Amino acid sequence: MKREEKNLRTRQKIMQGALAEFGEKGYEQAALNDICKRHNLSKGIIYHYFKSKDELYLGCVEECFAALIVFLRKIGCEDGGELEKGLQSYFDARLRFFSQNPCYFKIFCDVITNPPGHLKTAIAEIKKDFDELNVRIFTRILSRTTLRNGISLEEAVENLCRFQNYFNLEYQRALEECPDIKALPKLHEENCRKFVDILFYGIIERV
- pLDDT tens string 10-51: 999 999 999 999 999 999 999 999 999 999 999 999 999 999
Residues 72, 78, 81, 83, CA torsion sign: positive
CA gap 25, 31 in Å, rounded: 9
At how many degrees (to 10) do helices 83-100 and 184-201 cross?
Answer: 150
Yes or no: say if 13 and 22 are a contact pair by the CB < 8 Å rule.
no
Read off the pLDDT of residues 57-115 as tens digits, 9 standing for 90 and up.
999 999 999 999 999 998 877 666 666 778 878 888 888 898 889 899 889 989 988 89
In order of their start, the domains of the chain are: 58-201 (1.10.357)
Q: Using pLDDT thresholds of 50, 70 and 90, give the confidence band for residue 144.
A: confident
Render pLDDT for 181-202 as a digit per residue (tens, 0 to 9).
Answer: 566 656 665 676 677 777 777 7
Separation of alpha carbons 107 and 113, rounded Å: 10
